[in-house]
Amino acid sequence: MSTFSRVIASALMAMVLVAAPTALRAQAVAGQDQPSEDTWNSIKDDIFKGRPILDGAGLVVLDAPRRADDAAVVPIGMHVNFTGDDKRTLQSMTLVIDENPAPVAGTFTIGPRSGVTSISTRVRVNTYSYVRLVAELSDGKLYGVKTFVKASGGCSAPASSNADATKSMLGQMKFRTFRPESGGLPEAQLMMRHPQNSGLQMDQLTRLYIPPFFVENLKIWQGDALLVEMEGGIAISEDPNLRFNFKPNGIDKFRVEATDTSRKVFRDEWSLEKSVL
């Protein structure tokens, strides 16, 4: 088990055994939604090794609903808007959900020549919380933004699909690309079947908690060039869905490799007509 997985497992065990509400959860129960920086101030130095995080307003964009329709499937858009004369590139994006049992939802490392500046996915939000996006650019600096999301119970919500059906389709992938619009970059989308068990969900028959079981690493290449790598956790929703823009390199083959917490590796590849790109 990786260090990342052990940290998550410890956090989940503490949640199950202690189940002590944070101040923010207590506010939510009382009908209040006053945002607090207390959790963020207690975790940010551990996540980012004490590095300063600059205000990313106008440069970094985080799209998330103010109130989630479904706390287990919250759409998230992450973007970095470079001006035409900005020579910097995007190195990584880290998505943090302050009040989740494991606050780091995912870290997305960007391939050095991929041109990726935009990623969207779906996450679980466990209670009223700030959601934060911290982007690292090629100037070596971190830039952050935040938004407040009202949601409850996303990490403990039962799976939406039948467990037997999910097991039979485990790791199946679909991949497609989209033509660029208005002079922008083309986009690609990866969809993968996986239950993404959080460790906080209960088996309705046995009344026991279902062990954590999720994709912890996922890589996507165009040819041999890395486009994006995701290091994920329990907050990535059931059946991971990743959509991103990219700069075509002329190679019509895409491939994916994903590893979950059981150490099972899933691979697939697709050859697309160059006209699509």
Domain extent, residue 172, equals 3-276
Distance CA 148, CA 142 (A): 20
- The pLDDT confidence band at residue 159, using thresholds 50, 70 and 90, is confident
Considering only residues 183 and 87, tell me which one the structure prediction assigns the higher pLDDT.
87
The total of structural domains in the chain comes to 1
Q: Does position 9 have pLDDT exceeding 80, yes or no?
A: no
Provide mean pLDDT across the span 133-149.
Answer: 98
Predicted structure pTM score: 0.87
Largest CA distance in the chain: 60
How high is the pLDDT of residue 205? Answer: 86
Angle (CA) 203 207 210, round 5°: 40
Tell me the C-alpha to C-alpha distance, in Å, between residue 20 and each of 14, 16, 95: 9, 9, 24
As a whole-number percent, the residues of the chain with pLDDT over 70 amount to 86
The chain-wide mean pLDDT, for the chain, equals 88
Distance CA 229, CA 8 (A): 19
Neighbour order of strands in the sheet with 129-137: 53-55, 142-149, 129-137, 90-97, 104-110, 225-232, 215-222, 253-260, 265-271
Provide mean pLDDT across the span 103-131.
Answer: 98
Q: Does position 119 have pLDDT exceeding 60, yes or no?
A: yes
Show the tokens assigned to 139. 């100037």
How high is the pLDDT of residue 182? Answer: 82
Q: Does position 63 have pLDDT exceeding 80, yes or no?
A: yes
CATH number of the domain encompassing residue 178: 2.60.40.2470
What are the tens digits of pLDDT across the range 20-56? 344 444 444 444 556 789 999 999 999 999 999 999 9
Angle (CA) 201 202 205, round 5°: 150
